[in-house]
Structure 1
Amino acid sequence: MAISKVKILDVPFVNTTLNEFIDHILNEHILKSKKASIVTANPEIVMHANEDSSYMQILHHANYVTADGIGIVKAAEKLGQPLPERVTGYDLMKGFLSKANQQKMSIYLLGAKDEVIQLAKENIQKTYPNLEIVGYHNGYFNWEENDIGEEIKQLKPDFVFVALGFPRQEKWINQHIDQFDKGVFMGVGGCFDVWAGTVKRAPIIWQKVHLEWFYRLLNQPSRIGRMMAIPKFMKKINEQKVKEKS
């Protein structure tokens, strides 16, 4: 069954809840061995896509784009086409890992520093002992000369989590997905750092009041430049609303 979509600055977001989306991916792709690509997009990614047409094409080519950020949800509401909730990369990955554990599925991890992916792998395996981590590779490889794609093709994992940061992770998935027969491929940004314990996710109370972004900024002040995409994004949303009214 298809999921309806909401366009925000030309990026098509799936109109669904976290749990509904997890079940959809499981039933329509994993159980049917149909491959899929997922992009979890925040305002920064939407702005980048609006400035880079080739990246926008990648987002349109992906099977699903989810609202990873309260800014996306607020923008959808402002434009009169509300989304039910955030569907973040970390929550999605956690949900998929839980399903993989319950049904003894397999995963592959790609990205981050070697020490980070090693720790992430160990912690994921401890938390979800029934899933199988069939392979992993750090994010420092020669883009043009490597056998990662061939390895994944041979191993046939159910899920492939790609933590190369945007836009590299989406570019990698888009460039390679045609060579695979099955698997759900998703860019997960800094999720491996959280699983490794090198970066802490915001406490639940910060998440509930939609200040997770501010918590991350306090802990990683170097993100201030990236955060500037948010006011630019909201300005664009306001412009779009005015345009639609005229």
Structure 2
Amino acid sequence: MEKIQAYVEIKGIPFIKATNQQLLNDYLYPAIDAKEKKFIVTANPEIVMAAEEEYFYKKILKQADYVIADGIGVVIGSRLMREPLPERIAGYDLMQQLLEKANQDQLRCYFLGSKQEILDKAVAKVKVNFPDLVIAGSHHGYFDINDPSIAEAIEKAQPDFIFVGLGFPNQEKWIHRYSNQFSHGMFMGVGGSFDGLAGHVKRAPKIWQKLNVEWLYRLIKQPSRWKRMLQLPRFIWHILWRK
């Protein structure tokens, strides 16, 4: 793991202290150009609280190369700690920017996760929107993560980017377990982003994103998420209690 000097530790998790553009220009693009192997975690309050309850998962997050604040709750928490992160870095937007880089440099991308139907639509959209990148392969997310054959097949495809949409904590556990088999590659846990790529789930309008209430839009559109949203006030309470 590369030693990063600028980070904010929240509940034991080191979040990189950088804007989206700084992350790309100072860290990710140079690592991609140098054919290095890196592990990106897109962490929101729900992931931080899950790590609080499982030591092994927290250990994995702490060993990642870059943990980004993919959730305005994390940014708010950093401000309450008086160690403010500069901004939220949306995982979906970062994935799109990495796809643009792959398209520009004709790099190889592998997509792992989601249902087969959604995955097929997502890959088809990527082919249309980023015609110059190479689809190294794809595999649905319905498999035993203890099965090493999936990683072996992906490694043979020699991808430069491995987007893993298995949901937390499985996606981070899979990357942690198998990435050491690869000679290079940018590994990124992307949660449900394949749903967005496929058009199955709509992003919040830009104004909602600018106001940092994208979480509220998603809750309105998917009321079943309300239990997950309870992790936000719990997370904030933990930050205040620590203070």
Q: Displacement of 1:45 after TM fit? A: 0.5
Q: Compared with structure 1, are the counterparts of its residues 51 and 142 closer, same or farther at alpha carbon in structure 2 (3 Å cutoff)?
A: closer
User: In the alignment, which of 76, 100, 103 is matched to residue 98 of structure 1?
Assistant: 100
Name the SS of the counterpart of 1:147 in structure 2: helix
The answer (yes or no) to whether the contact 2:4–2:16 under 8 Å persists in 1 is no
Q: Displacement of 1:104 after TM fit? A: 1.0
- Gap runs ≥5 in structure 2: none
The answer (yes or no) to whether the contact 1:3–1:16 under 8 Å persists in 2 is no
Name the SS of the counterpart of 1:222 in structure 2: helix
Structure-1 separation of matches of 2:195 and 2:202: 8
Cross-structure match for 1:226: 228
Instruction: Output one character per residue of 1:16-49: Cα deviation in whole Å (capped at 9) or x when no partner.
Output: 1111112234443211111010100000000111
Q: Compared with structure 1, are the counterparts of its residues 155 and 25 closer, same or farther at alpha carbon in structure 2 (3 Å cutoff)?
A: farther
Structure-2 separation of matches of 1:141 and 1:52: 22
Cross-structure match for 2:109: 107
Structure-2 separation of matches of 1:28 and 1:3: 17
User: Given the alignment of the two structures, is residue 116 of structure 1 paired with residue 109 of structure 2, yes or no?
Assistant: no
AA partner of residue 37 (structure 2):
K
Q: Which 10-residue stretch deviates more, 12-21 or 141-150?
A: 141-150
- Gap runs ≥5 in structure 1: 242-246
Cross-structure match for 1:36: 38
Cross-structure match for 2:131: 129
The answer (yes or no) to whether the contact 1:160–1:186 under 8 Å persists in 2 is yes
Instruction: Output one character per residue of 1:48-89: Cα deviation in whole Å (capped at 9) or x when no partner.
Output: 111111110010111110000111111111111111111121
- Written as runs of structure 1 = structure 2, the 5 A alignment for 1:29-178 is 29-145=31-147, 147-178=149-180
Structure-2 separation of matches of 1:88 and 1:221: 21
Structure-1 separation of matches of 2:110 and 2:217: 29
Quote the RMSD (CA, aligned, Å). Answer: 1.2
| Same amino acid, percent of matched pairs | 48
Structure-2 separation of matches of 1:168 and 1:8: 21
Cross-structure match for 1:244: none
Q: Compared with structure 1, are the counterparts of its residues 181 and 200 closer, same or farther at alpha carbon in structure 2 (3 Å cutoff)?
A: same
Q: Displacement of 1:146 after TM fit? A: 5.0
After TM superposition, which residue ranges in structure 1, 4 or more long, deviate above 4 angstroms? Answer: none
Q: Displacement of 1:3 after TM fit? A: 5.1
Q: Displacement of 1:8 after TM fit? A: 0.7
Q: Compared with structure 1, are the counterparts of its residues 23 and 3 closer, same or farther at alpha carbon in structure 2 (3 Å cutoff)?
A: farther
The answer (yes or no) to whether the contact 1:40–1:67 under 8 Å persists in 2 is yes
Structure-2 separation of matches of 1:101 and 1:23: 17
AA partner of residue 235 (structure 1):
W
